Amino acid sequence: MDNYENFYQQTVLSKSIQAGLFAGILSTIVCLAYDFIFRSITFFSLSPAMINVATIIFGSLLILLASGIIYYLLFTYLKKAGEFLYMALFIILTLICVNAALHFQRSADAHSSLQFRELFIGIIIITGLATFVVPFFTRHKTVF
């Protein structure tokens, strides 16, 4: 197949989903590294662990897959305004989640609760930042 590039044309939906999944994979790797480094530095361990490998993997992937679909819907129907709305929506969602995490009481022990919040907020911020690469991956032809 000499003309493989024209064999299959990517749609905006397929590129948005792929961008969301790829951003989810990147976010998962960074979140897992952050979790490992944070726990090794602070010796944080709270049982039962709400933040573990499974929740980080599935949480990051599902959130970023959903963000890819949301990007597709907003970009398809609102064009440039949709891209701006996407960015504003995920900035607001990230800030709301960080604010909610600041008030989350996980344990009766104040120190454990503080460490849990620091770990949780870091993961929220990493995932929130990863939503901003979805438009980049979707728009560039050489990525997928």
What confidence score (pLDDT) does residue 93 get?
Answer: 97
Is 134 in contact with 67 (CB distance < 8 Å)? yes
Q: What is the 3-state secondary structure (H, E, C) of the chain?
A: CCCHHHCCCCCHHHHHHHHHHHHHHHHHHHHHHHHHHHHHHHCCCCCCCCCCHHHHHHHHHHHHHHHHHHHHHHHHHHHHHHHHHHHHHHHHHHHHHHHHHHCCCCCCCHHHHHHHHHHHHHHHHHHHHHCCHHHHHHHCCCCC
* CA-wise closest residue to 97 among 119, 74, 125: 125
What pTM did the predictor assign?
A: 0.88
d(C-alpha 99, C-alpha 112), whole Å: 18
Is 119 in contact with 38 (CB distance < 8 Å)? yes
As given in the structure block, the two tokens for residue 55 are 């929740």
What confidence score (pLDDT) does residue 112 get?
Answer: 83
d(C-alpha 21, C-alpha 63), whole Å: 9
Q: Give pLDDT tens digits along the chain (144 positions).
A: 455 555 667 888 999 999 999 999 999 999 999 999 998 998 887 766 788 889 999 999 999 999 999 999 999 999 889 999 999 999 999 999 999 999 888 777 888 888 889 999 999 999 999 999 999 999 887 766
